[in-house]
Amino acid sequence: MNDSVMTIRQMCETYDVTARTLRFYESKELLFPIREGQKRLFTKRDRARLKLILRGKRFGFSLEEIRQLLDLYDADDQQEVQLSRSYAMARERLADMERQRDELDETIADLKEQLNWGAQRLAALRQQQTND
Amino acid sequence: MNDSVMTIRQMCETYDVTARTLRFYESKELLFPIREGQKRLFTKRDRARLKLILRGKRFGFSLEEIRQLLDLYDADDQQEVQLSRSYAMARERLADMERQRDELDETIADLKEQLNWGAQRLAALRQQQTND
DNA sequence: CGTTATGTTTACGTGCGCGTCAACTTTAGC
DNA sequence: GCTAAAGTTGACGCGCACGTAAACATAACG
């Protein structure tokens, strides 16, 4: 009945991942569910981390990169050396993302152009068929 | 001495990929180098396609998705049915990319916030050390 | 003419991110 | 008290995107 923790099934349904995935992430030290006997209980912290993991994946970051990034979000319980390392890491990732966004904008523009081209080609092909 | 084609080595250096990668892409029908005897010669078309492949990869598209997208860029020599299929595919990919960009913008904003937080934590830690 | 560079095919190996059993324990409901 | 549901730990498997090594062909250079 503890609202602040979730079972593995609840996690699966809430975030649309498999139990295997959650255990896998734990084995990779991305999540740290507490144990009630054998069973895993996922805390609010785990949920926040999972959201960031799923986000990071969508942008092509590896789980290892994500793991390092996550450290910044747990800045509270860290020493200065570690924190400043995480900080530097995160700044680099940020730069990556900004570059990625710029390139994405370009690619979107290109693809739109190409779509217009395709639309014209299609129209031409259909016109031609009418004349056959 | 034909400027319009490149050997596999030239391709590797120009686009920073391995020969294995180029052969692999050919096997997956993403590239179609012509043959001079045994040797592959990569045309301008191959180069244009390779650029798009590398782009697509950066945005998390699979090689198979990229292959289908590429068909739109070769719209010239296609039948209507095929072309309209490519066109629909490309529209979907475009929607994907636009969603991805929006999410990326959000993520960038979040990460910036988190970086400010980290900077403050770092400053606090350093201040504390001074007082030790 | 031999060597070095560049190319080829074939085929097995690898790292990542999980999927998929198998075998077992624990908890919940009737 | 028994069954079904939900959980656990191995451990092997798989698809993708190549890496890597072997064995060989071809061409260029000195």
pLDDT tens digit sequence for B24-45: 999 999 999 999 988 999 999 9
Say how far apart CA A70 and CA A57 lie, in whole Å. Answer: 13
Q: Are A104 and B101 in contact (CB under 8 A)?
A: yes
Chain B residue with CA closest to A111: the answer is: B94
Chain A partners of B80 at a C-beta cutoff of 8 Å? 122, 125-126, 129
Query: Taking an 8 Å Cβ-Cβ cutoff, which residues of chain A contact chain B?
Result: 55, 58-60, 72-73, 75-76, 79-80, 83-84, 86-87, 90-91, 93-94, 97-98, 100-101, 103-105, 107-108, 111-112, 114-115, 117-119, 121-122, 125-126, 129
pLDDT at A1: 42
pLDDT at B2: 54
Query: Three-class SS of residue A39?
Result: strand
Mean pLDDT of A59-79: 88
Q: Flag whether pLDDT at A66 surpasses 60.
A: yes
Residues 6+ apart with CB under 8 A from B111: A90, A93, A94, A97
- The per-residue pLDDT of chain B, averaged, comes to 92
> Which has more confidence, A90 or A74?
A90
Own/partner pairs for B23-28, CB < 8 Å, 24+ apart?
A: B25/B50, B25/B53, B25/B63, B28/B63, B28/B64, B28/B67
Q: Which residue is nearest to nucleotide C9 (CA to C1')?
A: B38
pLDDT at A45: 94
Chain A partners of B91 at a C-beta cutoff of 8 Å? 115
Q: Flag whether pLDDT at B71 surpasses 90.
A: no
Q: Flag whether pLDDT at B9 surpasses 90.
A: yes
Query: Among the listed ranges A19-23, A69-73, A100-104, B57-61, which one has the minimum average pLDDT value?
Result: A69-73
Q: Flag whether pLDDT at A2 surpasses 60.
A: no
The string of pLDDT tens digits covering residues A83-126 is 998 999 999 999 999 999 999 999 999 999 999 999 999 999 89
Q: Flag whether pLDDT at B1 surpasses 70.
A: no
Nearest to A118 among B83, B103, B119 (CB): B83
